[in-house]
Amino acid sequence: MKFTKKSKKRNNKNKTRKKRGGAVPIMYDISAREMPNPIPLMCPICKNQTFFLKDSMLRGGRIASFFEMEWLFDKSAKIAICSKCSHMTWFKDKGAIIPH
């Protein structure tokens, strides 16, 4: 089937667009068992204190990947992404980051 310029233009109009906006950056604190009081999370690059929070699933190994059973091992981490410079800070403990 041969495409013409008109059909290409029509196909581009039908594509869905990403919604703008979305998540709002929030201030977070870091807490751990060894720390008596939580401390504010601060970006080491730009000293910003507002972050986006994401969950990431870590790879479970070759055998689990082969059988597509990685989700079973529940190896995940929290990622705090700076709202200014996009620096990512990884936390293995899910409870280490708490809202301010």
Return d(Cα 53, Cα 43) in angstroms, integer.
13
For the cut 60, the answer to whether the pLDDT of residue 61 exceeds it is yes
For the residues 64-82, what does the mean pLDDT come to? 75
Q: What is the dihedral of CA 68, 18, 51, 35, to 10 degrees?
A: -20
**Tokens for 67?**
């059988």
Nearest to 40 by CA among 51, 26, 30: 30
Q: Which helix (H) or strand (E) holds 7?
A: helix 5-13
Residue 51 confidence (pLDDT) above 60: yes
Whether residue 68 is contained in a domain is answered as: yes
Residue 42, in any domain of the structure: yes
User: Which domain range does residue 62 map to?
Assistant: 23-99
Q: With a cut of 60, say whether residue 15 has pLDDT above it.
A: no
Domain total of the chain: 1
Most trustworthy range by pLDDT among 3-7, 11-15, 16-20, 64-68: 64-68
Residue linked to tokens 């929070």: 53
Residue 36 lies in a domain: yes
Q: In the predicted model, what is the mean pLDDT of residues 15-33? A: 69
Percent of the chain having pLDDT more than 70?
Answer: 62
Residue 8 forms part of a structural domain: no
